[in-house]
Amino acid sequence: MNQQIERMKELTEQLRAASKAYYQDDREIMSNLEYDRMYDELLRLEKETGVVLTGSPTVSVGYEALDSLPKERHESPMLSLDKTKEVSELADFAGNHEILVSWKLDGLTVVLTYRGGSLEKAVTRGNGEIGEVITNNARVFQNIPLHIAYQGELTLRGEAVITYSEFEKINEEIEDVDAKYKNPRNLCSGSVRQLNNEITAKRHVRFYAFALVRADEIDFDNSRSRQFEWLKSQGFDVVEYRKVRAEQVADTVAYFAEKIQHYEIPSDGLVATYEDIAYGQSLGRTAKFPRDSIAFKWQDETRETKLLEIEWSPSRTGLINPVAIFEPVELEGSTVSRASVHNLSIMKALKLGIGDTITVYKANMIIPQIAENLTGSGNIEIPGQCPVCGGPTAVRCANDVETLYCTNERCSAKKIKSFTLFVSRDAMNIEGLSEATLEKFIAHGYIHCFADIFHLDNFRDEIIAMEGFGEKSFANLMQSIEKARITTLPRVIYSLGIPNIGVANARLLCRFFDYDLDKIRSSSLEEVASIEGLGEVIAGSVVGYFADEENDRMLQLLLKELTIEAPQETSGEQIFEGKTFVITGSVNHFANRNELKAFIEERGGKVTGSVTKKTDYLINNDTTSSSSKNKKAKELNIPILSEEDFLDMAQ
């Protein structure tokens, strides 16, 4: 008995630490499979002993609300669901009743309240009793109706999620994403629980309703599916579901299991709920679980394989992640041969060693993970040098998690943002080099400086063999690189990533020095500071950049790869001389806002990012919107122009 209690204490402590890391800190210190295994062991011990320890995750629900957001108590507790991995148990749950089988989405649960047809409140699940108020953030979710036809009080629950494709896109754009976000669920959690809803809006969070809590005076004829259909009629997206009986459960699970292979929305299983509302409610609840629903978690398909090596993958933050390379195996219909180990702590806990026999699986049937190590030789040596730059490494420990870092500030892996800027549309405009792709090429040693990008053909065979590449994509990449060799001086200046030098300032600089790069490189602080619109701070950035020997060396190598065209003299009249514009919202007549900005600057105007007393015009196709910029413009009596208005003025 005492040994069982001690084991329960150990499991409780480890599971609580893992939950805190996952839910509050948005980081991962153990795999989902390991967490489930430990949780099930603790649950079994609690049943055997009849003891439930204080703080046990079997009675604690979710995470504690953070102090940075207002807190609010839910009208009724939000309970977890009991779970199973057996299809037969799901069929037993159905019994002689109809059930709804739907996705169990892997995001952040949110409760919405509408009154008088308007969204009044949005609160996260929190710890099940107290959540965080995120109303302002919910208003900028991609698919939540701000106003609905129903005028009574409506309360519904759903999951805020970020799709896999959006996750990949954001992953390329957010500077610290590899340090903070390991999967769409963590990114969604960080996006929804923001103090600044502009960040939430940029991350394209979506909401899928999974339960209607209250809708006064609406008769749903005792039917869950009718509740879903009614929510759809009010403009809500609801989770995909199927209404089935026990004999149809196996086929239904097979349908969802097939679909998840290519499903865009993260899901960690299914939920079954009784179609008969009254029957489900009559069953009551346990201390933690409602009895009208049950969760079905995917039975992870595991395979044994042999660990071949640990690849050390550096990133933009200096973090060096261990990646397990193993003999290829078939999992969930595809061949896998590598899996992230996340950090040194997990690698040590698994006692990984070259030649070990390991079992691997796909978390949520998507992401390859190591389940366990059957050999446990633990012979992996932690590298003392960065695999990219050769600089010294250091082991750091934070929140009881050990990680490996490169200490060389000039490591090219740390400069991923500068390479991303270099290939961007307004710089060298090289298509096919996303931030994720650049990171792979840098980690493999293909790119150390800007000029190396123009010699990627030296690694043709290796690149074609990479996941996501092939003959056609490589050919397209090389075509884009060759096209980028012919460019303009403003593009080159902008692409260098000089602090405070954006597209507009790059043009100002080139114009002032007559498009002569040698003059720019040898310019003095006083000369650059004399350019209207720049000033001493920006001048210091420019002069300091070109005075750096390493920057000069990289530029010399780059110039050997480029043909810089002479500037085309603009004959356009400077009709916007002395005028300041702000551009917001989407554009229709220009490819993007940067193209509109260039149009204005070529005609003598200036474009800034915020509306102030010095602004002459705000360009926004939605002239009647209640955006902050529109409101500010109206307060200051600044004209708000649509593109059509602006183009009429430009004629």
Q: Which residues are catalytic?
A: 104
Sorted by sequence, the CB contacts under 8 Å of residue 390 that are 6+ apart come out as: none
Collect all residues with Cβ–Cβ distance below 8 Å to 439 and sequence separation of at least 6: 315, 316, 413, 416
For residue 388, how many other CB atoms are within 10 A of its CB?
22
User: Which pairs from 344-348 meet CB under 8 Å and 24+ separation?
Assistant: 344/382, 344/395, 344/402, 344/403, 344/404, 345/29, 345/400, 345/401, 345/402, 346/29, 346/30, 346/31, 347/310, 347/322, 347/380, 348/378, 348/402
Q: Residue 621 gets which letter from DSSP? A: S
Q: Using an 8 Å Cβ cutoff, are 590 and 616 in contact?
A: no
CA dist 268 and 295 (Å) reads 10
Residue type for position 233: S
Count the residues in the chain: 651
Query: Strands 393-398 and 367-373: what pairing?
Result: unpaired
User: Is 370 in contact with 304 (CB distance < 8 Å)?
Assistant: no
> Are 360 and 329 in contact, with CB atoms under 8 Å apart?
yes
Calpha distance 586→621 (Å, rounded) = 7
Amino acid (one-letter) located at 44 = R
Whether 365 and 260 have beta carbons less than 8 Å apart is answered as yes
Could you give phi then psi for residue 309, rounded to 5 degrees? Answer: -165, 165
**Ordered DSSP codes for 530-579:** TSTTT-HHHHHHHHHHHH-HHHHHHHHHHHTT-EEEPPPPP-S--TTTT-
Say if residue 205 is exposed, middle or buried (CB neighbours under 10 Å; 0-12, 13-18, 19+). buried
Rounded Cα distance, 107 and 521, in Å: 50
According to DSSP, the residues that pair with 320 across neighbouring strands are: 314, 404
Cα separation of 651 and 649, whole Å?
A: 6
Question: DSSP letter at 650?
Answer: H
**The pairing of beta strand 108-115 with beta strand 118-124:** antiparallel
Closest residue by Cα to residue 507 from 601, 613, 587, 638: 601
Long-range contacts of 172-181 (CB under 8 A, 24+ apart): 172/420, 172/434, 172/435, 172/436, 173/435, 175/316, 175/417, 176/317, 178/315, 178/316, 178/317, 178/319, 178/321, 179/315, 179/317, 179/319, 180/26, 180/27, 181/26
